[in-house]
Amino acid sequence: MQKPFCLIQLHKQYVLSKDANITKEGRIMTQDQLRRANKIVFPVIMVIVGYVLVTLLAFILYGGAANANFKTILQIVASIAAIAVSTFFFVTKRGTKACTYAMLGSASAVYFLVRLVNGTEATGMYIFPIIIAAMVYFDTKMIIGMCAATF
């Protein structure tokens, strides 16, 4: 009699088989796979952080000097820093885990700062595309960390 189909067993069978393409360091993703995943995640991160930056700049331009307080400037600086860090790592270390952690870490830092400083409830939605971007890497520790940061 055949066992019922189980996705967890299939995953374990894939990871433990010789065809799983596990590298010497124990990683499941190769450098080429990381390069392709980073190529997909980079535009997502740029759209999210860029949207935060553009809305904050519009907030200052529309409201004038009254809206240019310390909290708003801090969020703008963090967004610019996240764009710079993500772009630097994407250009220089595209096929490494360092690029992965730099992009997702900087986007998560912007989310955390915006969520901490900003009073708008809709900012809680910014984390969901970042969590979905983390799922591209099949890294359960990263996904669990992102979900924990949400709350």
Annotate 6-75 with DSSP letters as a single string: -HHHHHHHHHHSGGG---TTS-SS-HHHHHHHHHHHHHHHHHHHHHHHHHHHHHHHHHGGGG--HHHHHH
Which residue shows structure tokens 């310390």? 70
pLDDT at 10 over 60: no
Least-confidence region, from 17-21, 122-126, 132-136 = 17-21
- Rounded Cα gap, residues 55 and 120, in angstroms: 12
Q: pLDDT-derived band of residue 45, with 50, 70 and 90 as boundaries?
A: very high
Q: Which amino acid is at 140?
A: T
**Most trustworthy range by pLDDT among 3-7, 27-31, 66-70, 79-83:** 79-83
- Rounded Cα gap, residues 136 and 38, in angstroms: 9
pTM above 0.85, yes or no: no
Q: pLDDT-derived band of residue 24, with 50, 70 and 90 as boundaries?
A: low
pLDDT at 25: 55
99 DSSP assignment: H
pLDDT digits (tens, 9 = 90+) for 12-22: 444 444 444 45
